[in-house]
Amino acid sequence: MDIETTSSIGKLFNFSFEEVTQSGRVLLEKKKLLHNVNGDFRVGELTAIAGASGSGKTVLMDILSGFVKSESGIISLDNKLCDRKVFRRFSSYVMQNDNLDIELTVNESMNFAADLKLQLSAEEKNQRIIEILDAMKLKECRNTRIIHISGGQKKRLSIALELINNPSIMFFDEPTTGLDIVAAKQCIRLLKALAKEGPRIVVITIHQPSATIFDMIDHLYFINNGQCVYTGGTKLLVPFLDSIGIQCPYYHNPADFLLELCSGIYGDYNEKLIDAIENGKCNNWRSKSENSDDLIFNGLSLELPQLYSSNDMNKNQKKQYATSFLKQFSILFHKRLLTLLRNRASTLSRLFVHLVVALLVGTLYWNIGNSAHNAKNNFNFLFYNIMFLMYTAFNTMIITYPLSMPVIKREYFNRWYKLRSIYLANKIADLPIQIVSVTLYVLIVYLMTRQILELNRFAMLYLAHIAVSLVAQMIGIIVGTALDVQYGVIFGSLFIMPFVVFSGFFVHLNDAPSFLQWLFHVSFIKHGFESVISSIYGFNRGKLDCDDLYCRYAEPKEFLSIMSMNKVEYYPSLLFLIGLYILLDIIAYITLRLRVKKKFKISFI
């Protein structure tokens, strides 16, 4: 077939693929998942990719949607290769899990999506949101928080969010999973209406459709062991089987029978099926009446206005995102702040932990800050503060960040925003909570332990604690981004404990083996601790209070010398922490890009 390359999408008629091959690892063994499969998905049809578990249907869906890159094959629109960026701009992929911001209301989610994906006036956006919510039967729960709506409503909301910019091609991975039979039928009826209303191409994966749902599907693409065994209309499946000498019992659901046939219950017919359908190339069994203009199905009427014309699409094809970076950041920052405020349990618990521990520590080390007799206790107290603030900042991120990753993956893949917009918005929105938590803790313990009442010393101590907590938070973001929650909690200590061991508190630099001494110089705990000690005992501080005739640690300089910290300097240590924060910030963003883009490559060759 002669295929020319185009970078525009006009009026679509079909979406085809040829000789698509893919391999992967199954139980550590490399296995071919797709074997040169072919197919042709047409506009106005609801196409279902069906098959048994492990048959390759999800792999094929991921490749067609651009979620993963295929090893080989050709994917085209109307016999023309499509530019990858343009394809993703006018398509969407609704994944199996809903992956929604559950703290937002339905209406808020729709508004944020509209602000990110549309360049329309506020009135026009609101009108479109009302039309979509009405079509999705979500109008009655528009002011309800997503955490409180049903599973079926969440499915419909996931679809509604992607309908905002009226994509020409929509992919759905197992849209009926977790739904009862009534909700599943409503979902399929809705998807069928979406296909015909656009008209657009709608492709879903489904494991084993019931007889009712099977009859609602326009085009069935059945796959087994990585090869196509049937492509065509659902009503023509039985005649197809008859044509190759296979009789489907009249009492049997044809989809169930084909699944049993592929599993080998009635013998090995796989090769016969693959040859008859030419591994997806044969279109002789496509229904002739699938492109009906009837948009009403058992009471469901879907009448959404077109958002883009063919000319609009060609004009905007080079623009990957509907909004600028600054607008994306503003919208996402507002969205993140709103979710943090709504999730009061998480936000208040962070403040509560810092408050309670500060009162406990302040009581334990009451009034020791200016006492020569308690200088060592004060030394231990200052190190504990660093450790506590480091661990709370680190642990918060390794738990919260993995939970937000599925939402970021879905929204970024569907071209809602640039990755740096969401990264900066999430990071900066969380900053006030972290700063307030540290401020609350440091202020309470400083006053309760009666540290030296000099504003400049308190400011230096405060800045050192802020710097340490932000560096620890950044390490937590890196770990939380790179690992899932369960692995982050288990292996997180491996990333943070070396900094503690080489902090200089447990083992002094000069007492460590020479080949390990360099690790002390890169420990942010060491530099943070030195900054804190310098702010309290450095800068020519006068004698400490002494209640006895002689106090060994009355002179701060002598105390620092005994503790092997007479050479510590405040500003170089603080600058190191600032430089390390900037470096880790860059690493965190790169980690996020690698994690999100690991699968997000589309194969249009």
- Same domain as 380, residue 246: no
Angle of CA points 56, 60, 62, to nearest 5°: 120
What span, in angstroms and rounded, lies between the C-alpha atoms of 339 and 104? 7
Q: Considering the domain boundaries, does residue 16 fall inside one?
A: yes
- Same domain as 589, residue 535: yes
Query: Which position has the token pair 């080949």?
Result: 515
pLDDT at residue number 13: 63
- Same domain as 490, residue 395: yes
Task: Output the six-digit token pair for 169.
Answer: 């091609």
Query: Which position has the token pair 């492509």?
Result: 231
pLDDT at residue number 85: 66
- Same domain as 520, residue 409: yes
pLDDT at residue number 443: 96
pLDDT at residue number 8: 45
Domain holding 131, by residue range, is 101-166
- Same domain as 110, residue 59: no
Q: Considering the domain boundaries, does residue 128 fall inside one?
A: yes
What span, in angstroms and rounded, lies between the C-alpha atoms of 100 and 109? 9
- Same domain as 310, residue 452: no
Q: Considering the domain boundaries, does residue 73 fall inside one?
A: yes
- The CA distances from residue 566 to 476, 513, 520, in Å, are 32, 21, 16
4-15 pLDDT per residue, tens: 444 444 455 678
Q: Considering the domain boundaries, does residue 604 fall inside one?
A: no
- Same domain as 244, residue 131: no
Q: Considering the domain boundaries, does residue 601 fall inside one?
A: no
Choose the final residue of a domain: 166, 191, 212: 166
pLDDT at residue number 11: 52
Q: Considering the domain boundaries, does residue 71 fall inside one?
A: yes
Choose the final residue of a domain: 166, 186, 206: 166
Q: Which of 360, 350, 361 is nearest to 432 (CA)?
A: 350
pLDDT at residue number 106: 93
- Same domain as 458, residue 383: yes
460 touches 535 (CB < 8 A) = yes
Query: Which position has the token pair 């094809």?
Result: 317
- Same domain as 401, residue 273: no
Count the domains in the chain: 3
pLDDT at residue number 159: 87
What span, in angstroms and rounded, lies between the C-alpha atoms of 9 and 118? 18
Q: Considering the domain boundaries, does residue 510 fall inside one?
A: yes
pTM reported for the whole predicted model: 0.83
281-294 pLDDT per residue, tens: 998 888 764 444 44
pLDDT at residue number 401: 85
Choose the final residue of a domain: 272, 289, 315: 315
pLDDT at residue number 509: 74
Q: Which sign, positive or negative, has the C-alpha torsion 55, 58, 62, 68?
A: negative
- Same domain as 216, residue 136: no
Q: Considering the domain boundaries, does residue 602 fall inside one?
A: no
Ranges of the chain with pLDDT below 70: 1-13, 25-28, 82-86, 198, 288-319, 549, 598-605
CATH of the domain at 201: 3.40.50.300
- Same domain as 385, residue 304: no
Strand-pair category, 227-232 with 219-224: antiparallel
217 touches 48 (CB < 8 A) = yes
* Inter-axis angle of helices 344-364 and 325-342, nearest 10: 70
- The CA distances from residue 72 to 18, 22, 34, 223, in Å, are 9, 7, 10, 18
- Same domain as 198, residue 107: no
